[in-house]
Structure 1
Amino acid sequence: MMHKSLGLAFVMAYLGVASGFMRTSPGFNAIIKARPVVTVLDMGAGDVDIMTLTRFMIENTKSNPDQQEMESMMASIQMACKKISSLVSRAGITDLTGMQAGGGSINVQGEEQKKLDVISNDVLKNALRCTGKLGVIASEEEESPVLVEEGLMGKYVAVFDPLDGSSNIDAAISTGTIFGIFEEAGECVIDYDEDNLDEEEMQCLMQTLQPGKSLVAAGYCMYSSSTILVFTMGNGLHGFTLDPQIGEFVLTHPNMRVPKRGKIYSFNEANYNDWDEPLQKYVDALKTGTGESGERYSSRYIGSMVGDVHRTLLYGGIFGYPGDKKNPNGKLRLLYEAAPMSFILEQAGGRSTTGTERIMDIEPKAVHQRVPTFLGSPDDVAELEKAFAK
C-alpha cells in the first residue's frame, strides 16, 4: 500500500491537483461562460483570470462532489500527456526516432513498434496504475488487458492508444494519445487464495469489452505545433492547450461544437480502387461538387487519426477509414480508437458510423477488434449513410 500512496502523492504534488475530473454540469457551463478565456499573450499585463485544467476540475468538483474519486485519474492522464509531449518534441535530439530494438519488435497488431510506441505505453500505463481507481487497463500495445494489482477494488477500466500516428514521428508530423474510461460492468474482486484464480481474472478482464455508449469519459491529446488536450465527461466537450511557460493546460476551446457541415474530407485515397462502389461515388460527388451541398470539397489527410479528427472537429467535414477489399473491417480499433473518438464527436454535435450502424452501439467481441469508421459533421455523415443505403 505504501508504494501506491507515494505514487499518488507524487502525481498530485506534481500537478497541484486538489480536486477532480468530473462530468460537466450545467452549473459548470455557467462558470465557463462567466469567465473569458485568457491566452498566454495576456500574461504580464496585470491581473488575469486563467482557467487551467487543474482549476477546471476544482470548480467542477464543487458541482459534482460525488464524482471526486476520479480526480487522480485525470491528474495522471494530464501528467502522462505532458511527459509524452516532451518526449515527442525531443525525439530527434534524444535518439527516440526509428524502430524499437533495431526494427525487430512487432506488436499484437502485426505492426513494427517505434521506440516511442513502447515508451509512451509505459508512461501512460504507469501513470494510470498509481491512481488506485482502475481495475483493468487495455492498450493497443498490449496483447491482452492488464489487471492493475494496486487497484483490484478499482471502479474503472481505462483503454488507450498511447501514440496514434507514431509512423509520423521521424517526419515530425502530428501524433496523439487517445483514451477512454468505462465503469466496471460488475464487481471485480479477486481472491488469490481461491483455486479458480484464472476464471476470476478472466471475468475481470472481460469487463473491458463494453460498447462506446457505456463510456463515462474520453479524450485525446494532440502533439503538434502545440499540445492540445480535448476531453468529455458526457456533458460537453472542452479543449485545453499546454502553456509551456507555466506547465499547465489552459482552457482555449470551451464547449466545442463541430460545424453542421464542412468542406473537407479526410480519407486515404490511395485505397480508392479497393473501396466499395457506394463510397467511391460518395467521394467523387464531394470532389466534383455534385453532392447534397453543391460545394466542391478539399482533401486533407495527415495519416494520424488524432490530427485528422481534430481538424474535422474544428472546421467540419468528414473523416473516414473505411473497410476495403484488403481490410474489410478497416484498420481502426473499435475499443480504444473508434469508440472514444465517436463519443468525442457526438458530444460536439457530430455523428459517427460504420456506414450502416452507429459506432457507439457496437458490442466489442475482442480487445483489438477493428471497425470501418466515419466521423464528422452531422450533415456530412448523414449523406454518407444515404450513399451506403442505396
Structure 2
Amino acid sequence: MADPDPAADGGDPPESDPIVEAIFDAVAATAPEIRAALPGRRVESGTDNPSGESVLAGDLYADELLADALTAVEGVGSFVSEEREAAVDAGGAVGEGAYAVAIDPLDGSSNLRSNNAMGTVVGVYDAPLPATGRDLVAAGYVLYGPITTMVVADADGVREEVVTESERGSVDRSIVEGDLRLPDDPLVYGFGGRVPDWPDDFTAYAREVEDELKLRYGGAMVGDVNQVLTYGGIFAYPALVDAPDGKLRLSFEANPIAYIVERAGGAATDGEVDILDVEPEGVHDRVPLYVGNERLVERLKAALD
C-alpha cells in the first residue's frame, strides 16, 4: 500500500501507469457533462440493455459520452459497457500493451427519477473480456452526490478525489484522501433485494448485523459502497431465492468494486470464493456480492456455509 500522499488536502494524482491515468482523466472529464445532462434525461429510452433491464435516456447518454472519451485514449484496446451487447474495438491489442475498459455508465440510474445518488463504475483490465478480476490493473467510480467525487484504486493504493469544472471549462482532479482505508471499527450496512426474497441463512446474518450497525441503503451500489469505505461496514446484494446468481454484473460492477475494497484493506466474496477469482462465462454474467470489513465478510461466509 502506498504511503499517505503529502498533498492529501489537494493536488494532482500521483505518478502511475500513464494509460490508467489517461483513462481516469477521460472519465473525470465526462463527469460534469453527464451530471449537467441528467435533468433532461429522467425518462425511459424505450430500449432494454443486454441484461433485459429497461434503460433510461440518461443511461444511453452517459454510455455514448464515455465510449467516445475512452476509445480516444491511446492504450485503450476495447470499450465494454453494461449497455452494449459486444465490445467496441478501439484499435489496440488488449493484453499486449492495451487495456479493456469495462463501464457501468450510470450505476443506480433508477434513482434518477427520485433524485438520489448514482455514479459511474470503471474497471481497467489487462485481458480481453470476459476475464477474472485478477486481470484488473485499476478500478474506480465517480459518485454524483452533493459534490462529484472519484475513487481510484490502482497499484499505488486507493485515493479519493473531488472532480470540479473551472469557469473556463477545464476539469480538475483534487485529492482529498491519498490513502483511503476502511475504518477498523465498522458503523454501517446496506443490503439489496427484497427481504422476502433473501435466503434464510442470509436473513439470519442480516438480523445479527442490524443489531450492531446502522442501516445505510440508497439503491445505488456506488453510493452504498462509498458509505462503507467512508465509515466501515458491509454492503451486500445477495443471492436471492428467485435470482440465485444475484443481480450485479461481474465485469462492470462486482469486480471493480471488489478490487477497490480489497485495495482499501477489506474483503469481497460471492459467498464462496473471492469475487476476483470468479471465472466468468460471459461479459454480462451476474454474481452475488458481499464487500466490506474483513471480519464482517468472513462472518457472512461462515453463515452461508
> TM-score, normalized by length of structure 1?
0.73
Contact residue 260 and residue 350 of structure 1 kept, 8 A: no
Q: Give the structure with the higher percent strand.
A: 2
Aligned pair partner of 1:155 in 94, 98, 107: 98
Deviation of 1:305 (Å): 0.4
Deviation of 1:311 (Å): 0.5
Contact residue 260 and residue 379 of structure 1 kept, 8 A: no
Q: Whole-Å Cα distance in 1 between the matches of residues 145 and 237 of structure 2?
A: 21
Q: Whole-Å Cα distance in 2 between the matches of residues 261 and 361 of structure 1?
A: 27
User: Which residue does 2:77 correspond to in 1?
Assistant: 135
Aligned pair partner of 1:302 in 211, 218, 228: 218
Deviation of 1:360 (Å): 0.6
C-alpha distance after superposition, 1:67-103 (max 9, x if no partner) = 4344432322221223223323xx1xxx221111xxx
User: Which residue does 1:283 correspond to in 2?
Assistant: 206
User: Which residue does 1:260 correspond to in 2?
Assistant: 184
User: Which residue does 1:202 correspond to in 2?
Assistant: none
Matched, 1:110 2:55: no
Matched, 1:313 2:229: yes
Structure 1 gaps of 5+ residues are 1-24, 38-49, 62-66, 185-206, 290-295
Query: Number of aligned pairs?
Result: 300
- One-letter code aligned to 2:43: G
Structure with higher RCO (Cα < 8 A, 6+ apart): 2
Aligned pair partner of 1:218 in 122, 126, 139: 139
Contact residue 20 and residue 124 of structure 2 kept, 8 A: no
Contact residue 178 and residue 306 of structure 1 kept, 8 A: yes
Deviation of 1:36 (Å): 5.1
Aligned pair partner of 1:167 in 110, 114, 133: 110
> TM-score, normalized by length of structure 2?
0.92
Q: Whole-Å Cα distance in 1 between the matches of residues 203 and 110 of structure 2?
A: 27
User: Which residue does 1:78 correspond to in 2?
Assistant: 28
Please give the residue correspondences for 1:170-249 in structure 2 after superposition, counting only pairs within 5 Å: 170-184=113-127, 207-245=128-166, 247-249=171-173
Q: Whole-Å Cα distance in 2 between the matches of residues 243 and 70 of structure 1?
A: 20
Q: Whole-Å Cα distance in 2 between the matches of residues 156 and 276 of structure 1?
A: 38
User: Which secondary structure does the structure 1 equivalent of 2:48 belong to?
Assistant: coil
Relative to structure 1, the CA distance from residue 107 to residue 68 in structure 2 (aligned partners, 3 Å threshold; closer, same or farther) is closer
Aligned pair partner of 1:56 in 13, 23, 33: 13
C-alpha distance after superposition, 1:303-322 (max 9, x if no partner) = 10000000011011110001
Contact residue 227 and residue 241 of structure 1 kept, 8 A: yes
- One-letter code aligned to 1:224: G
Deviation of 1:176 (Å): 0.3
User: Which secondary structure does the structure 1 equivalent of 2:86 belong to?
Assistant: coil
Q: Whole-Å Cα distance in 2 between the matches of residues 70 and 373 of structure 1?
A: 25
Q: Whole-Å Cα distance in 1 between the matches of residues 51 and 181 of structure 2?
A: 33
Deviation of 1:163 (Å): 0.3
User: Which secondary structure does the structure 2 equivalent of 1:117 belong to?
Assistant: helix
Q: Whole-Å Cα distance in 1 between the matches of residues 255 and 21 of structure 2?
A: 23
Contact residue 140 and residue 153 of structure 2 kept, 8 A: yes
User: Which secondary structure does the structure 1 equivalent of 2:54 belong to?
Assistant: coil
Greater Rg by CA: 1
User: Which residue does 1:194 correspond to in 2?
Assistant: none
Q: Whole-Å Cα distance in 2 between the matches of residues 300 and 109 of structure 1?
A: 27
Contact residue 235 and residue 347 of structure 1 kept, 8 A: no
Give % identity: 31
Contact residue 261 and residue 380 of structure 1 kept, 8 A: no
Contact residue 230 and residue 238 of structure 1 kept, 8 A: yes
Contact residue 142 and residue 148 of structure 2 kept, 8 A: yes
Contact residue 267 and residue 291 of structure 2 kept, 8 A: yes
User: Which secondary structure does the structure 2 equivalent of 1:56 belong to?
Assistant: coil
Contact residue 136 and residue 145 of structure 1 kept, 8 A: yes
- One-letter code aligned to 1:125: A
Deviation of 1:135 (Å): 1.6
User: Which secondary structure does the structure 2 equivalent of 1:386 belong to?
Assistant: helix
Q: Whole-Å Cα distance in 1 between the matches of residues 79 and 101 of structure 2?
A: 5
Relative to structure 1, the CA distance from residue 230 to residue 282 in structure 2 (aligned partners, 3 Å threshold; closer, same or farther) is same
Deviation of 1:233 (Å): 1.0
Q: Whole-Å Cα distance in 1 between the matches of residues 98 and 165 of structure 2?
A: 33
User: Which secondary structure does the structure 2 equivalent of 1:144 belong to?
Assistant: coil
Q: Whole-Å Cα distance in 1 between the matches of residues 55 and 21 of structure 2?
A: 32
